Amino acid sequence: MMIATARSMLWLLATDTSRLRKCLVGARAGRTRRALPGAAAATGVRIIAQCIIPCGVRAIVEATCRGHVRNFARRFFAMTAAAVREPVFWRAGLRIEPIAPAEIGVYRSYLQRSESASTEVPLKTSTGKLGRRTAVRRAHALLQLVDRANAAEIGHDETSSYARRYTMDHDPPADDRAAFARLCAAIFANGIGFNAVRNHREALDAAFDLFDPTRVARYDDARIDAILRQPIICDRAKVAACVENARRWLACAADEGTYLGRVARCAAQDDAAVGWPALVELLRSDFVRVAEMTARQVLKRWGFFTALSHPGGKRCLERLGLMAPQAPAPAAQQFIGAIAGAGGRDPYALEASFVLFSTIGPCRTRPLCLRCPLAERCPAAQLEAAPPRPAASSTAAKSA
Ligand code: SF4
């Protein structure tokens, strides 16, 4: 075990690609990995452990202060830019957290889990015959047909704007205020759907002071009555829950500086491959009116992609023979991530294609296979579309 010297400290550095694009794969991942020791040597930082995942880099480093870790990250970005042919765009925010020496084991295993979760796709095809690469390649080909079918249904512009909206709704929140707004949106959406909440977003922002938790926590009964008099949200229990949650948010954030800091600390010890169970429990215990499904909806909207899979998107993957029926939701999300990585696309944008296909396209709850452009390649369609053989005609054929 590494023991930090008196002057140096251990730090966790986590940096993500812009919009969490899964572009650190193959040769690019190798070059990114090789840039780390050079950057460390140039800035006097020592790397204790590291892992490259498709959408970012995690490292445990030893350095004298946070500024040195930041310099190391900047030098690493510069060296990566020089080493790879196609530029990697990084998110502006860095996560740099001190690690107590006693916790180094926990952080090491977090890095190992992150790496194995990003390289293993627990995919099971319905036939069991396809390898991971073949399945991803096949899914990629089908995805092009899905995109074409969506465009034929509602047009290219509407398809792209839907994907943009879907991605923006799930972009990791920039700060606590944005994160709290999404928590409240998930509570409001309970029973009425997210579309209804999105349609009233401006009115809700105005009514709730842009969901600043400090201000919402001070709301009294008179203020709640005033909100309920507006034609936006008429459920007193939901509004009261948001006020109570704002108070709890501030109480939890007081210990960690920000609530997102508390989330990051919990995520460091959680497991993406099984759908972030510890984070789900954290939200359930921290807030009121947050059951497991709401917690997962919130986490997905905070950028935790494997927390929840869209039932329609998952249904499409299963019908197309890309996923085993009843495969766990995190496996579906990891598979979508793998297809996105193979095509250099944003996983949320890619998921949006399948979601659209399952809601306005032919692959609805009751599929319209006869007008589906994927029918020839879809195992589920072959069963659905097979015409029943009339007994009379077969008898006639035999007698002929
Ligand atoms: S053929 Fe039918 S089951 Fe298959 S993807 Fe199309 S609509 Fe869905």
pLDDT in tens, 226-263: 999 998 889 999 999 999 999 999 999 997 788 988 98
Q: How many helices (H) and strands (E) does the chain have?
A: 19, 4
Which atom from ligand 1 is nearest to the alpha carbon of 373? 6
Query: If you measure from the C-alpha of residue 384 to the centroid of ligand 1, how many angstroms do you get, rounded to a whole number?
Result: 9
Q: Which residue's CA is minimally distant from atom 2 of ligand 1?
A: 369
Ligand 1 proximal residues by C-beta, below 6 Å: 319-320, 362-363, 367-369, 372, 374-375, 378, 380-381, 384
DSSP type of residue 98: E
* Residue in the block written with tokens 């040769």: 27
Q: Which domains does the chain have, with CATH numbers?
A: 9-119 (3.30.70.1290), 132-168+308-379 (1.10.1670), 172-302 (1.10.340.30)
Query: If you measure from the C-alpha of residue 386 to the centroid of ligand 1, how many angstroms do you get, rounded to a whole number?
Result: 13
- Which residue, 287, 288, 307, is CA-closest to 297? 307
* Residue in the block written with tokens 């949650």: 245
Q: What is the 3-state secondary structure (H, E, C) of 295-332?
A: HHHHHHHCCCHHHCCCHHHHHHHHHCCCCCCCCCHHHH
Query: If you measure from the C-alpha of residue 311 to the centroid of ligand 1, how many angstroms do you get, rounded to a whole number?
Result: 15
- Residue 123: CB partners within 8 Å, gap ≥ 6? 132, 135, 322, 323, 327, 331, 334, 335, 338
| pLDDT tens string 86-104 | 777 888 778 888 887 767 7
Tell me what pLDDT residue 295 has. Answer: 97
Would the pLDDT of 133 be above 80?
Answer: no
Spatial separation of the C-alpha atoms in residues 97 and 108, rounded to whole Å? 14
- Which residue, 40, 24, 352, is CA-closest to 169? 352
Work out the mean pLDDT of the chain and round it to a whole number: 84
Select from 320, 359, 360, 366 the residue to mutate for testing ligand 1; criterion: most ligand atoms less than 8 Å from CB. Answer: 320
Lowest mean pLDDT among 123-137, 300-314, 349-363, 367-381: 123-137
- Residue 268: CB partners within 8 Å, gap ≥ 6? 12, 97, 106, 107, 110
Q: Which residue's CA is minimally distant from atom 5 of ligand 1?
A: 363
Select from 378, 382, 383 the residue to mutate for testing ligand 1; criterion: most ligand atoms less than 8 Å from CB. Answer: 378
What tokens were used for 255? Answer: 């210990």
Q: What is the ipTM of this complex?
A: 0.98
Query: If you measure from the C-alpha of residue 364 to the centroid of ligand 1, how many angstroms do you get, rounded to a whole number?
Result: 8
Query: If you measure from the C-alpha of residue 201 to the centroid of ligand 1, how many angstroms do you get, rounded to a whole number?
Result: 34
CA distances from 200 to 96, 176, 183, 184, 189 (A): 37, 21, 15, 13, 11
